[in-house]
Amino acid sequence: MTVQPSTDLMSPLALFLQADAVVKIVMIGLLAASIWTWAIILTHSARLKRINKQSASFERDFWAASDIDAFHSKRGDEQLPIAMVLGAGLDEWRRSTRAAVVDRSGTRERLASRMNAAVAAELDRLGDRLNILATVGSVAPFVGLFGTVWGIMRSFTAIAGSNNTSLAVVAPGIAEALFATAIGLFAAIPAVIAYNRLSHGLDRLEASLGRFSDRFHATLSRELEVDVGTRS
């Protein structure tokens, strides 16, 4: 009759405690990576959702405003990407139209450059640490596989030393080895899914900021058709 391994010995805690020191280090590292991954996922998801909601309200109120300068004075300090793009555009507008004679073509180019740079800077800021998700998603399975290979090698060594190939001898070592791979997948799968989702969210935000930038650029360009040299 085949001896079945005890279920207590096959519990996650037992598998960790009876694992080799190398496999334990792999498991601890993967668990830490998983916790770090979920912290990034939760914080970035909440922040992106909040920014999208507040940005939509900001843009709606901006286009409804009759005085751009007054609107910027009132709400330009809000820590939103769209507010930063607005501030960059207005700052460049004021600098470029300060002279008595305005270079209209140069002003348009500088406006586009400043606002595009503001969009890129905000996306870089919001995308900070997303590379960690990509790294965990691509590396964690291989780290877990390393722990599995090491654990199986240890099991084969134990089999050779005891001259016993029964399931009771083989199962615990193989189980702890496979547990390392499971932890690696547990860390990697959410990281990959979240990275794709958050990257998609940033792409949508970039498109939204780009549309706002283009529309605001067109508004300021129309102002250049007026004799801006007479403006104070």
pLDDT of amino acid 218: 93
Look at residue 98 and tell me if it is in a domain.
Answer: yes
Q: What is the pLDDT along the chain (232 residues), one digit of tens a residue?
A: 444 445 555 677 777 777 778 888 988 999 999 999 999 999 999 999 999 999 999 999 999 998 998 999 999 899 999 999 999 999 999 888 887 777 888 989 999 999 999 999 999 999 988 999 999 999 999 999 998 888 888 777 777 766 666 656 666 677 777 888 899 999 999 999 999 999 999 999 999 999 999 999 999 988 887 654 454 4
Helices 21-64 and 130-162, packing angle to 10 deg: 160
Q: Which residue has the tokens 């939760």?
A: 42
pLDDT of amino acid 175: 77
Token representation of residue 216: 């605001």
Look at residue 152 and tell me if it is in a domain.
Answer: yes
pLDDT of amino acid 50: 96
Other C-beta atoms lying within 10 Å of the C-beta of residue 161: 8
Domain count, the chain: 1
pLDDT of amino acid 229: 46
pLDDT of amino acid 103: 84
Q: How many CA atoms does the CB half-sphere of 90 hold within 13 Å?
A: 14
Domain that holds residue 49: 21-224
Token representation of residue 70: 């007054």
Give, rounded to a whole angstrom, the gap between the first and last alpha carbons of the chain.
98
Look at residue 12 and tell me if it is in a domain.
Answer: no
